[in-house]
Structure 1
Amino acid sequence: MLSSIRFKFGSTVKQPPLEVQTPPSVTIFVGPNNSGKSQALRELVSVFRSGQTEGFCVVDDVSFDAIARDVAVNELKKIIVEPEPGAQKINGYVYINHYKEEMMHVPIVDFLNALQYPNSAEGRHRRNFSSYYLKNLVLALDGPSRIQLINPQERGDLKKPASVFARLFVDDEKRSALRKLVYDSTGLHFVLDASVGSHLHARFGSEAPPNERSLEEGTLDYMRDARGIESVSDGVKAFTGILLQLHVGQPRVITVDEPEAFLHPSLAFTLGKELAKGAVDEGKHVFASTHSAQFLMGAISSGAEVNIIRLTYQDGVGTARLLPSAELKVLMRDPLLRSVGVLEGLFFDCVVVGEANADRAFYQEINERLLAQNDGRAAPRTLFLNADNKQTIPRIIAPLRKLGIPTAGIVDIDVFKDGGAEWTKHLGAIGLPEGEYDAYASRRSTVFKALEAANKDFKTQGGITLLKGGDLEMAKNLLADLGRYGLFVVPRGEVEHWLMDLDVARSKNGWLRSIFEKMGSDPNSDGYVKPGIGDVWDFMGEISGWLKNRNRRGIPA
């Protein structure tokens, strides 16, 4: 039904607009707040219902699959209905009704042409495709609507079931399969109660039900004891309702804005997995925007093909990048990357990686204080992560950069002790051209020798301030060149030697607690440390400058 989506921009300003093929599957939009994820969903729903893209900000165009004439004829036959008494009858026109939507009086020729030529503006084919056909097969779910999906529904004529509940009620196989999905995730058995008036009601039992299609005493007793929808959480209602529409509902296209809303992380993971797998199994197109790493991991783990598109919007410039599933699986499966929450980086503008938890906490606090002062040296919408040590920083930086996420690393100056393969890992992770590896290896070695010649512990006793003359200039040049690629070496030696005017023991044990106590926690108190000139504040400004720079080096196009 849907062939492809073209966006208004690509992975960078210099790259062509992104175009993504969309066979029946899940397409997930990720990115920072205000990056266009929800807007993309709204625009897709709009074009599905109207065929028009005027005024769009994110989506440039959508292409649809042409439908063969014989299939189009069958599609028309499914929805032809008898006109109401007294309704006008015109030769060559028929009345159609999609699943109790508004009845339409349409020309047969126009309907068939629209399905055969859905991308053609000639004869209004594109508009007709949407208004006659596609718009009735689209379900757009927001927060309130998804928890109403399992409200009571008319039982109707079960010989010709119309409502979703009615179709599920007469399909033992699908009902059992859906019940198992819900039970495995919530511990509750989803059942349909036909014992109340003319409607079917959803209920949830703690035990498996007897034959719910009967009205025997055992079934009635079960329904009396089972919970009604008012007695279960919004998460259970939303989870059940979305899966119900996926596996039983008539919509061929489903959009869900923040599917993780109301859901426990484990339910979000399961929903992502079931939507990805179910979309392919049911031949449906599912579009979702999310801030949930759990939902995303569930979709990736399904084994189904998933389109994951990262959107960004900053200073009036948008980007759209299709993220390779193989790279995302690296983030999800690597124990180190998973343990430090690397996948969360997809939902921020930028990421900063420190050597250890103390580094992460300190630099994040420095950035927060800059943000609080509206200081231009701050890095807004930035996630701070920590590696296990400096040697593991490249394992975090490299995969995030491959996904187009600006990721800076902060290392203490003893990184210069690590030559050979360890040094090369840093250079490779930050995107330095391989042809320069030897030159940078030589520069590292020269600076390291100069630092050692100072006959002091250069990490704890001053860093590059121990150097003079040409040696100092050489070290500054190396730090500056590494900074151009987003690797920032602490010039004072190590994180513990920032803010030296504060009277704090500089040993690693207890340093973080002590420095935070000295910095203060109440912005209104006299002793509270606010951003100043130089020191770590300017260092963070250099990092922020690289993150904000659209022409930054080290990010693959």
Structure 2
Amino acid sequence: MQQKAPAARGRNKASPSGVTTPSLPERPHARLKEIQFSDGTIMGLTPGEIIVFVGPNNAGKSAALKEIYGRLAHGQNFPTRVTTRVEFESSETGQEVEEWLARTARRDHLGNYIVSMVGTIHRGIVAINWDHRNLNGIQSLANTMILHLGTEARLSAVNPVDLVNLVTEVITHPLHRLYDDDELEERLDRIFFRAFRQNLIVNRGAGRQVMLHSGKRPKLPKGKDRQSNDFRTAVNQLPAVNDQGDGIRAFVGILASVLAADRDIILIDEPEAFLHPPQATTLGRVLAEETPTDRQLLVATHSTDFLRGMLDHSSPRVRVVRIQRAGDVNYIRELSPTTVRNVWADPLLRYSKVLDGLFHDAVLVCEGDADCRFYGAMLDAISANNSGPDIALVYGAGKSRIATIVQALKAIGVPVRVVVDFDILADEAGLRNLVESLGVNGPKSKRIGIQLGLQLSNEGLESLRQKLAMKSWEFLIKLKPLHSLKET
């Protein structure tokens, strides 16, 4: 798969918007280099890329993220089914890693290392594990370089945590970082306000705990600072984020974890979970904008809204990869940047349901919304007593745009079929364009038009209409029970 030029690498973690993350001590780095999937596809990666995995249910998107983390942490013997090989690269030696820990970590009473935002790493095995990392994974060092955010992790990230001594103790939680870094709090507050029209405030007067509140930020009393009793009281009266709905908790948990942690590889499964569509779109856009340019972000999503947010940013960093499973094989197709630009440049396509096709087994393209409802009812009737692939119905707002939709869906490997009105026969050029978009070559597409014209003149309009109606019914019956839709 096509690789992009690697981003510049340095200590200042700058986001595309020009904002830098907290300056942290230098540490060893790990970058994903290649991922091979069960269909044999090898996907190369470079620093700074954002990979968005899309596809129908049970295609292997979430499993791919788990396997990537498992292979990095536990080595090539970690059991997998979606991926067959995961390679990463790093330049440090085991001795250099050990020296980094000795220089930056604190020690417990046994001499083990206590690392900020990670926890305990046992001494004596670090250099050995690192020098055998390609075979056995990086083991306990994984969480110093990889952030894997599942559902529970993002929700619990906003729960109040015990305050630590920022001088003598190790920071262990994203809320500690927010407590200690005013710039990071302001940055997250701006993002939160975009999504929910409320402020996000760190409560620095909650006794032995650090917690977050949402609402209208209290004004500082004249001549007083945020440690004043009046300000602390006003903050405490605001709703606590951990008492809010799962949507707010998940949104804040993801961004606090991503922005506060210094990780080379970030894996997020279903970031849109619990979010309404507008917030899912905002989250996609924010992650594309704010993820530092030397980090790799891999996301598995089921949401067209989240994907729209990612693509709205128009960043060359974003790559869309579709996974579709047939039996025990996971087939991989990458959406080319040219195809994305073509869809995004057409307002009717950009705001239609074309992208929904990425999350279904196949797509049936009709002319209008009423056609979609009619054929959807037919498909429901056919599939009442038997299961089959998940078919999305998409309309093209007329015949002229259907060929463009077909080309966009086929470019990423989405199986697609078309149902158009009878009057397509009156437009020879339009019919040929449509048939060719489905993969039929020029001479053959012309013969199809001639044959239909001869049938019309020989049999009459009503007879041909009845035959085409029967063909449509047979077509839908054949479409629904298919179990392998790898090819278009």
TM-score by length of 1: 0.74
Give the partner amino acid of 1:411: V
Matched with 1:303 is 314
Question: Which residue, out of 399, 420, 427, partners 1:390?
Answer: 399
Q: Please, which moves more after superposition, 42-51 or 250-259?
A: 250-259
Distance, in Å, in 2 between the alignment partners of 1:307 and 1:401 is 17
Pair member with larger Rg: 1
Query: Deviation string for 1:185-215 (max 9, x for gaps)?
Result: 1112111112122221111131355499742
Query: Deviation string for 1:140-185 (max 9, x for gaps)?
Result: 3222321111111232223366143232223222221111111121
Distance, in Å, in 2 between the alignment partners of 1:391 and 1:82 is 69
Q: Does 1:44 align with 2:73?
A: no
Query: Deviation string for 1:60-87 (max 9, x for gaps)?
Result: 1221122245964663345543341xx4
**Kept after mapping to 2: 8 A contact 1:321/1:404:** yes
Matched residue pairs, number? 452
**Kept after mapping to 1: 8 A contact 2:162/2:208:** yes
Equivalent position SS for 2:210: strand
CA 1:268–1:279: 2 relative to 1, 3 Å: same
Distance, in Å, in 2 between the alignment partners of 1:81 and 1:251 is 19
Matched with 2:85 is 61
Matched with 1:82 is 107
Distance, in Å, in 2 between the alignment partners of 1:360 and 1:174 is 47
Q: Does 1:242 align with 2:260?
A: no
**Kept after mapping to 1: 8 A contact 2:34/2:88:** no
Question: Which residue, out of 276, 279, 282, partners 2:288?
Answer: 276
**Kept after mapping to 1: 8 A contact 2:107/2:114:** no
Where does 1:356-435 land on structure 2 (aligned, <5 Å)? 356-374=368-386, 380-420=389-429, 422-433=430-441
Equivalent position SS for 2:297: strand
Q: Does 1:106 align with 2:124?
A: yes
Where does 1:281-296 land on structure 2 (aligned, <5 Å)? 281=293, 283-296=294-307
Q: Does 1:441 align with 2:452?
A: no
CA 1:210–1:363: 2 relative to 1, 3 Å: same
Distance, in Å, in 2 between the alignment partners of 1:82 and 1:546 is 60
Equivalent position SS for 2:124: strand
Q: Does 1:96 align with 2:107?
A: no
Distance, in Å, in 2 between the alignment partners of 1:227 and 1:209 is 16
Alpha-carbon deviation of 1:297?
Answer: 1.2
Equivalent position SS for 2:65: helix
CA 1:227–1:61: 2 relative to 1, 3 Å: same
Alpha-carbon deviation of 1:323?
Answer: 2.1
Matched with 1:24 is 48
Matched with 1:168 is 178
Distance, in Å, in 2 between the alignment partners of 1:209 and 1:441 is 73
Matched with 2:13 is none
Alpha-carbon deviation of 1:108?
Answer: 6.4
Alpha-carbon deviation of 1:453?
Answer: 5.9
CA 1:249–1:3: 2 relative to 1, 3 Å: closer
Distance, in Å, in 2 between the alignment partners of 1:259 and 1:76 is 32
Distance, in Å, in 1 between the alignment partners of 2:348 and 2:483 is 24
Q: Does 1:6 align with 2:54?
A: no
Alpha-carbon deviation of 1:245?
Answer: 1.2
Structure 2: which 5+ residue stretches go unaligned?
1-29
**Kept after mapping to 2: 8 A contact 1:277/1:303:** no
Distance, in Å, in 2 between the alignment partners of 1:292 and 1:57 is 24
Question: Which residue, out of 135, 149, 153, partners 2:161?
Answer: 153
CA 1:83–1:176: 2 relative to 1, 3 Å: closer
Alpha-carbon deviation of 1:226?
Answer: 1.6
Structure 1: which 5+ residue stretches go unaligned?
11-15, 88-93, 466-490, 493-497, 499-533
Alpha-carbon deviation of 1:343?
Answer: 0.4
Matched with 1:207 is 217
Distance, in Å, in 2 between the alignment partners of 1:111 and 1:543 is 52
Distance, in Å, in 1 between the alignment partners of 2:72 and 2:395 is 43
Give the partner amino acid of 1:47: R
Alpha-carbon deviation of 1:234?
Answer: 1.6
Distance, in Å, in 2 between the alignment partners of 1:149 and 1:43 is 23
Query: Deviation string for 1:345-378 (max 9, x for gaps)?
Result: 000010011222232222221111111122xxx8
Equivalent position SS for 2:119: coil
Matched with 1:523 is none
**Kept after mapping to 2: 8 A contact 1:332/1:343:** no
**Kept after mapping to 1: 8 A contact 2:304/2:355:** yes
**Kept after mapping to 2: 8 A contact 1:257/1:289:** yes
**Kept after mapping to 1: 8 A contact 2:266/2:296:** yes
Distance, in Å, in 2 between the alignment partners of 1:104 and 1:138 is 18
CA 1:215–1:431: 2 relative to 1, 3 Å: same
Query: Deviation string for 1:455-475 (max 9, x for gaps)?
Result: x5x2xx22177xxxxxxxxxx
Question: Which residue, out of 362, 367, 374, partners 1:355?
Answer: 367
Query: Deviation string for 1:32-59 (max 9, x for gaps)?
Result: 1111111112212212221234431011
Q: Percent identity of the aligned residues?
A: 23
Distance, in Å, in 2 between the alignment partners of 1:315 and 1:131 is 32
Where does 1:250-265 land on structure 2 (aligned, <5 Å)? 250-265=262-277
**Kept after mapping to 1: 8 A contact 2:71/2:78:** no
Matched with 1:193 is 203
Give the partner amino acid of 2:231: T
Equivalent position SS for 2:205: strand
CA 1:439–1:350: 2 relative to 1, 3 Å: closer
TM-score by length of 2: 0.83
Distance, in Å, in 1 between the alignment partners of 2:106 and 2:89 is 26
CA 1:448–1:219: 2 relative to 1, 3 Å: same
